[in-house]
Structure 1
Amino acid sequence: MTDQNDTMEDLQVTYPGAGTFLLGATKGRVEHLNKLVAAKQKTATCLPWSEFENDQDALPQVGRCDIVANWDGTPAMVVRTVSVDKVKFRHVTPQMAMAEGEDKDIEAWRKRTAKAFGTKGVLDRDTMLVFETFELVEDLGLR
């Protein structure tokens, strides 16, 4: 049986500098979003710029591979960052929003994003977002 630490060490050798992150804040959300990434339906994510303002080393880096974790912290997939854009909430295009793979249209994306990052479901139109586009490199569940 392989120890989780052995798996992580192997991933750090295979993908040097890879960070590990969760795509959601609850177990159900993480499971749902990980399925979308594995199916290549989710190829983007965003967070408010304020999440990175004081730790810009945490920003996604174009070309770097990172590990998407399961809720329990075990590695699920490896993704490579294709692009990183700092964009105002109001300037997110329908194509960008649909790349997140969660909504039927830009209006649904705006409502979900405002609920997630805003105050009482409202997000200022000028709120800066870090919008990351990525590609699936490896589904670790298939190893």
Structure 2
Amino acid sequence: MALTLDQLRSKYPDALAWSFGDSPELASQLSTLVIAGKKVATCGALLTWNAEASKPQPGGYSIILNGDNRPVCVIRTTGLFLTRFDRVTPEMAMLEGEGDLSLDHWKQEHQRFFQREGTFHPEMELVFETFQLAEVI
């Protein structure tokens, strides 16, 4: 039986709850990659990060929601660091676990995402987060 969001909040009292991406389809696709062990990192625009009230912290937990806004897994943040879009390495792109795992694919898809968000610039600052899968719901 799957745990509800309220039950997970009881189990992980300080956990954040959020979904990847900017659409239900992307949220489900990326959460599936996390559950499969292929996605162990994510990133976001520093401008967006600074505007958020709650932020992941190393050692902290996040309840990941799918495109239906249902909890599907819990991750634990293992690291946070700043980088720039134009300084993302092939190794960093691979950690995100998306597409063919190449830097070219990463740049293409993330540029599209950040353009939709209105934050894209080739030298934009990113918060890069690494994490480990703590629990599958």
TM-score tier by shorter-chain length is 0.7 to 0.9
Once the two structures are TM-superposed, the CA of residue 11 in structure 1 deviates from its matched residue by 1.4
**What are the equivalent positions in structure 2 for 1:47-86 lying under 5 Å apart?**
47-55=44-52, 57-86=53-82
State how far apart, in whole Å, the 2-side matches of 1:108 and 1:71 are.
22
State how far apart, in whole Å, the 1-side matches of 2:80 and 2:14 are.
17
* Percent of pairs with identical residues: 34
RMSD in angstroms over aligned alpha carbons? 2.1
Once structures 1 and 2 are overlaid, which stretch shifts more, 82-91 or 22-31?
A: 22-31
Residues 1:126 and 2:123 are matched in the alignment? yes
| 1:95-115 Cα distance to aligned partner (Å, 9 max, x none) | 111111113211111111111
State how far apart, in whole Å, the 1-side matches of 2:22 and 2:121 are.
22
- Structure 2: gaps (5+ residues): none
One of 74, 78, 99 as aligned partner of 1:103: 99
Secondary structure in 2 matching 1:125: coil
Once the two structures are TM-superposed, the CA of residue 123 in structure 1 deviates from its matched residue by 3.9
CA contact (8 A) 2:16 2:56 kept: no
Using the size of structure 1 for normalisation, the TM-score is: 0.84
CA contact (8 A) 2:78 2:132 kept: yes
Secondary structure in 2 matching 1:72: coil
State how far apart, in whole Å, the 2-side matches of 1:73 and 1:118 are.
24
Q: How many equivalent pairs are there?
A: 134
State how far apart, in whole Å, the 2-side matches of 1:108 and 1:76 are.
26
Using the size of structure 2 for normalisation, the TM-score is: 0.87
AA in 2 matched with 1:129: L
| 1:2-47 Cα distance to aligned partner (Å, 9 max, x none) | 8x7xx33321222120010011222222221111111000111111
Which residue matches 2:14?
A: 17
Secondary structure in 1 matching 2:134: strand
**Which of the pair has more CA radius of gyration?**
1
